[in-house]
Structures are given as structure tokens and as C-alpha cells.
Structure 1
Amino acid sequence: MGLFNRNQNNSCCCNNINANTIQKMEKYEKESFIILGTGCDKCNNLESNLEKALKELSIDKNIAHITEPALISMYGVMKTPGLVIKQKVVSIGKVPSVDEIKELITKYYR
């Protein structure tokens, strides 16, 4: 209809996600703790702080690390590092202290 509806795309942005990306994401669905980042120093520091927090809280869980930008962006994270607890992004673009992470775990994990 009319000039302004020309070339209108009614599909969502998800059409660019291929089956391989979705399959990769599915393997992380059951992970309780995920670090989102490309492996930089900040990402490694976040992982270290998370390990310490888990140990102090006597939680024995693995930490997954997603490094692929396509997968990171599916969480809505545009600035790394990111921390995901039980599939909820709880920190973006900074390295929380061990105590801050313990608070996040208490709030989102238990």
C-alpha cells in the first residue's frame, strides 16, 4: 500500500539465525553459570571471581564459557564480559567482585 510501505519486511531478525547456531545454544540451556566473552583478561578475571564465589558458597557447578559473538549476541549482550545465572543475564560489561557475584548467586541461583 502506498509509498511508505514499499519493501517492508515483516519478518523478525531471528531469520538470520541458522540451525547450527540454535543447536550450539541448546547445549548451554542446562548450564547454571555461563561467562559470555571472547577470552580477554576481563572475561578470565570474571571466571576467576565466579570460581571463588562458588567455592565460598560450597556450590559445585561447572562454568560454561561462550566465546562466539553470534551466541553472545543471542543473550542480548553487546559489551563483554557477561555473566549468566540460570539463563538470566545478571552482569554486562564489567567484572563484579567476588562478593558482588555471591550476592548475584544468592539472588538468582537459589
Structure 2
Amino acid sequence: MTIVQVLGTGCKKCVSLKENVETALKEMGVEADVQKIEDINQIIHFGVMSTPALAVDGEVKIVGKVATPAEIKAVLSQGELG
């Protein structure tokens, strides 16, 4: 199963990104393990210095913005989703 990680410390933008991820997955009809990573040390481990950020299966795809559901779907459709 695909793991989608929303990286952010809990700010409003981070919450919005998580909601957009869930919307995109629902619209695609795809199930994924959506994780919210709020620990700053884990976020830094990803190499992210600006939040919110989105990672798919541990690979950072979007940094520093609240991606729209359409943008998220484009990112997710580039890889194989299980």
C-alpha cells in the first residue's frame, strides 16, 4: 500500500494539505496510508526546511505549499498506487 506523508507541525496550511490529500485519494478511488508527520526531527530527516510538504513512499514530492487536490492527483498518478 502506498504511504502518503504530510509533513508539518500542525499549522492551518498543514491541516489543509492533509484534507486535500484525502480528497484527492477519494476522487481517485485509491486507498493509501495517510500519515501526518509533526515531529520536527522527522521532518528535517526528510530534508524539508519549509512546510507543509508532501512525501509519497518516503520521497518528498511537494514542499512549502498547500497543493490542490488536482496537483496531488498528478503527483500520485506518476507512481504506482497500490
Q: TM-score, normalised by structure 2?
A: 0.92
Deviation readout 1:19-78 (Å, 9 max, x if unpaired):
xxxxxxxxxxx8610000001000000001000000011112231011011110000000
Matched residue type, 1:47: K
Q: Using the alignment, how far apart are the partners of 1:32 and 1:80 within structure 2? A: 18
TM-score of the pair, normalised by structure 1: 0.69
Unaligned runs of at least 5 residues, structure 1: 1-29
Larger Rg: 1
The CA deviation at 1:94 is: 0.1
Counterpart check, 1:55 vs 2:26: yes
Please say if 1:90 is aligned against 2:68. no
Match of 2:35 in 1: 64
- RMSD between superposed Cα atoms in Å: 1.4
Gap runs ≥5 in structure 2 = none
Which amino acid in structure 2 is aligned with residue 99 of structure 1?
A
Q: Identity over the aligned pairs, expressed in percent?
A: 36
Bigger RCO (CA 8 Å, 6+ sep): 2
Correspondence for 1:24 = none
Stretches (4+) displaced over 6 A = none
Residue of 13, 22, 26 corresponding to 1:42: 13
| Separation in structure 2 between the aligned mates of residue 91 and residue 97 of structure 1, nearest angstrom | 11
Structure richer in strand, relative to its length: 2
